[in-house]
Amino acid sequence: MLADTALLVLEDGTVFEGISIGAVGEMSGEVVFNTSMTGYQEILSDPSYARQIVTLTYPHVGNTGVNQEDTESAHLWLSGLVIRSLPQAISNHRSEGSLSEYLIKHGVVGICGIDTQAGAVDQAKALTRARDFPGLKGMDLAREVSTASDYHWHQGVWQAVNGYRGPPQKPYRVTAYDFGVKHNILRLLVERGCEVTVVPADTRAEDVLSSEPDGVFLSNGPGDPEPCVYAIEAIREILRSGTPVFGICLGHQLLALAAGARTLKMKFGHHGANHPVIDLDSERVFITSQNHGFAVDPSTLPQTIRVTHRSLFDQSIQGIELINHRAFSFQGHPEASPGPQDICVLFDRFVAMMASQSKLACA
């Protein structure tokens, strides 16, 4: 039985006392809430949560266990997990182990038995570690979670999606920058007939362009985008080459920075699978998956950036396109995992952009 006491100590001295459900140890990080009702394993394995303590607001977590198929990266980068209740019985035929075993295996601390929606008792313990945490502002975490070397992604099979009748005669070659990429992003590219090569976050533009990719993908990832100067400079050079570019999450922010905008730390980040976003061109509303604490600063946009999507929660920028380049990006997660798949059509747009570029090159 789970019996060891665990503490969640906040910077202001507030302490939540509960039961340990993960590895033994102490970790510090930024506490964030995720409002998703399902998909806890995909959330835990999302590299974008590096240096963050994820609090799941849904009260009953862990009843379906864990399995290898539902992971979004090879490692767990988050600092810790906070939940209200951990069931002892696992009720799913796909399960290969328990949530507690999963956390222990990956060295992640966890706590349950506390109210994740309200209230706590003030105490004076463990404040030093909490107050010493500098926050994510100024932190370059993309290098920490990125792959150490290039690799080709083969998982996933091409399938007919959104009206496509068949794969391209010649697969589109996509180079994906790994700033903390999720596996489902790579799967969706493969499903659309792409050959995907994943490269480290600090790969030089000249090395990417030397392979003559049909498109460059900028992945999601954790931390502050502004310290990633190496990526911003590489993106600028790639844009000058005329190669189509598509960015998600951190990749969206880096594209904006490369185009001359600035980013800011949000007072309230977006973490969940039910965020409404409006397409400003069609006025269609999409329900999206979100996970970010930084955003593009609307007051710094140059005339070369056009806003395409906005959040209906706070009007923050959710999508942009560059007027003078074949490049666009989205702040949320069109690959979901977990979450709605409303806006995965952005992957189709990327493929269409590469197809159009290929026709121009052949003309």
Q: Is 333 a catalytic residue?
A: yes
In the beta sheet, which residues pair with residue 304? none
| 3-state SS track over 127-171 | HHHHHHCCCCCCCCCHHHHCCCCCEEECCCCCCCCCCCCCCCCCC
Residue type, 14: T
Catalytic residue among 30, 249, 252, 309: 249
* Strand pairing class (14-20; 121-122): antiparallel
In the beta sheet, which residues pair with residue 151? 198
The count of C-alpha atoms lying within 13 angstroms of the C-alpha of 71, restricted to the half-sphere facing its C-beta, is: 17
What whole-number distance in Å separates Cα of residue 203 and Cα of residue 11?
37
In the beta sheet, which residues pair with residue 309? 279, 319
What whole-number distance in Å separates Cα of residue 355 and Cα of residue 231?
25
What whole-number distance in Å separates Cα of residue 142 and Cα of residue 51?
11
Q: Which residue, 162, 142, 145, 144, is CA-closest to 72?
A: 145
Q: Is 75 a catalytic residue?
A: no
Is 186 in contact with 155 (CB distance < 8 Å)? yes
Catalytic residue among 252, 270, 292, 333: 333
Q: Is 270 a catalytic residue?
A: no
Residue matched to tokens 């905008």: 261
Enumerate the H helices of 222-281 as residue ranges: 229-241, 250-258
Instruction: Kindly provide the residue ranges of all beta strands, DSSP E only, lying in the chain, ordered along the sequence.
Output: 5-9, 14-20, 30-34, 52-56, 80-82, 109-112, 121-122, 151-153, 172-178, 194-200, 215-218, 245-248, 263-279, 285-296, 305-311, 317-322, 327-330
Catalytic residue positions, numbered: 249, 333, 335
